Chain A
Amino acid sequence: MGMIDPYEVLETNNMIERENLDVRTVTMGISLMDCCDPDLDALNMKIYDKIVSTARNLIPVAEEISLEYGIPIVNKRVSITPIGIVGASACRSPEDFVTIAHTLEKAAQKIGINFIGGYSALVAKGMTRSDRMLIDSIPEALGSTERVCASVGVATTKIGINMDAVRLMGDIIKKTAQRTADRDSIGCTKLVVFCNPPDDNPFMAGAFHGVTETDAVINVGVSGPGVVKTAVSRARDGDFETLCETIKKTSFKVTRVGQLVAKEASRRLGVPFGIVDLSLAPTPAVGDSIAEILQEMGLEMVGAPGTTAALAILNDQVKKGGIMASSYVGGLSGAFIPVSEDSSMAEAVTAGALTLEKLEAMTCVCSVGLDMIAVPGNTAPETLAGIIADEMAIGMINQKTTAVRIIPVIGKDIGDRAEFGGLLGASPIMPVNRFSCGGFVNRGGRIPAPIHSFKN
């Protein structure tokens, strides 16, 4: 291996110091299957002990790696087996499930992480009694905790869409918003509805440790919208070939850092390496934005005609560069387009450039879906369910992950602004189509699997 070149050192350190290159998250997935117990107190105790003993060193190790390589690691998190499964034999009521949420909060606090994901149920075909109780407990669970993240898988390409669950989630989102009405309905920022959810997603709020996974695993999410933006700005006068090559090469470099951190964390923690998630994840910090990349590509504002094509290029080139940079790629691996978490997206909404309908179109060509979207507090639960159904259909038909994280901000309407704080950011309230879909979403039952899922 050749000697390191000073210019290469300078390039790497410029990316870190000036362009917000970091590792967005080191997430430890922990299986709670061996905690199952018919006694609720025993179950809670086992869950606490398992999480605390397994992830005890997560933060010190991540900090050590960060120091030695000079690369910031922004978030350290834990994902767990969906609690709808883990709590099945012990919980007799939604209130019983809430005790587990409190245990997760305590465990997260103990090991010093800001989010723990997996207060989840996978109900694409049907809900068990346990899954139904967990879903019913979500408003209280999220209302009485800060760190717990919930997700519900209501559809897959292989199975179809569970419309009973979709309709129910309209109510649950509304109730969660009401339960946290005093804080701009922040509970809904920690609640994701999925189609085709991955088992190894390291990103919150939708992370859970799937049942296909081993006892514990390290998954890493890279970042780097700022680095990509700077690279794209250098290719301003280039044609599409130049633009694509620029994004691809940058993505390779960014992902290599994720691969290094993932392997090191895995080795030092004695936990197997799972995957690197290539997703470009924005934050509200200036320069750390997906919208700014799209604008750098030549759009006056994100939402303008051409936005979907620009996002498709970005998403595809990030994957092409990232795939070779990591031995295992997984999770969501695409570009995130949250509104409140990306200050330039929120600006585009304020300017009238970006609408809910355009965002829906954009979700066809990227991960994940309608993300961190604040809508009027008086939006009907049926309408929320209709929005979810549309997004699930996009995921089901296109064989990709889609998700909805929508916040009906109680007491606020068009022209108001929701403030969630920190990485969750802020957003203007977006208008929602006012025509009813009640007759459709209230039919009940399931939408069958699409024809192209029958491959046997």
Chain B
Amino acid sequence: MNRTIVTLVGKDMVGIIAKVCTYFAENNINILDIAQTTVQDFINMMMIVDTSKTDKSFSQMTEELDKIGDKICCTIKAQHEEIFNMMHRV
């Protein structure tokens, strides 16, 4: 298991999550958890995904997520889970 946290912030519109999920499905990245809040028109989403089975390198994946983000007017960020564990768990 290689857990990566994906965060998405932007203006809400139809199909945002579908676009991101399709990308993960096409690249053999399993979604473990999704949390989402929408305040007024803005969406704030966090996904925990397993990147251990994908052929894509981390830098390829972030580049492609950037491109998807540009298309749907959102910022998508992928980070190894460990930075959050380190900071928030003793």
Is A239 interfacial (CB 8 A cutoff)?
no
Segment among A66-74, A340-348, A439-447 that sits at the interface with chain B: A66-74
Whether B62 contacts A67 by the Cβ 8 Å rule is yes
Given contacts A2-B89, A68-B58, contact A12 B84 (CB under 8 A): yes
- Whether A257 lies near B58 (C-beta < 8 A) is no
Contacts of B46 in A (CB 8 A): 6, 9
Interface hub of A9, A10, A12, A257 (most chain B Cβ within 10 A)? A9
Interface 1/0s, chain A 1-38, versus B by CB < 8 A? 11111101111110000000000000000000000000
Q: Mark A36-79, 1 if CB is under 8 A from B, else 0.
A: 00000000000000000000000000001001111100000000
* Contact partner, A9, options B58, B59, B80, B84, Cβ 8 Å: B84
Q: Does A299 contact B (CB under 8 A)?
A: no
Does the CB pair A6–B83 fall under 8 Å? no
Query: Which A residues touch B85, using CB under 8 A?
Result: 1, 4
Q: How far is the CB of B32 from chain A (nearest CB, A)?
A: 9
Asked if B80 and A8 sit within 8 Å, CB to CB, the answer is: no
Let me know if A256 is at the binding interface, CB within 8 A: yes
Q: Are B84 and A70 in contact (CB under 8 A)?
A: no
B58–A67 touching, CB < 8 Å:
yes
Chain A residues with CB below 8 A from B79, complex form: 68-70
A320 within 8 A of B: no
Interface residues of B in 46-88 (CB under 8 A from A): 46, 48, 58-59, 62, 77-88
**Residues of the A chain whose Cβ atoms lie less than 8 Å from the Cβ of B82:** 69, 260
- Compute how far the CA of A4 lies from the CA of B83 in the bound complex, rounded to whole angstroms: 11
Shortest beta-carbon distance, B54 to chain A, in Å?
14
Question: Chain A: how many interface residues by the 8 Å CB criterion?
Answer: 23
Would A4 and B48 count as touching, CB distance under 8 A?
A: yes
* Complex Cα–Cα for A69 and B86 (A): 11
Q: Are the CB atoms of B89 and A1 closer together than 8 Å?
A: yes
Which residues of A are found within 8 Å of B84, using beta-carbon distances?
4, 8-9, 12
B74, chain A: closest CB distance, angstroms? 14
Complex CA distance for A341 and B44, rounded to whole angstroms:
36
Q: B80: which A residues are within 8 A, CB to CB?
A: 68-69
* Bound-complex Cα distance A55 to B46 (A): 37
**Nearest CB on A from B85, distance (A):** 6
Which of A2, A70, A256 makes the CB contact (< 8 A) with B77?
A: A70
A9-B7, A10-B7, A257-B83 known; 11 new pairs, CB 8 Å cut-off, are A3-B33, A4-B85, A6-B35, A6-B37, A6-B46, A9-B46, A10-B44, A11-B88, A69-B83, A257-B86, A259-B86
Between A and B, 7 residue pairs with Cβ closer than 8 Å are A2-B89, A4-B5, A8-B84, A11-B88, A12-B84, A68-B80, A70-B78
**B residues whose Cβ falls under 8 Å from a Cβ of A:** 5, 7, 33, 35, 37, 44, 46, 48, 58-59, 62, 77-89
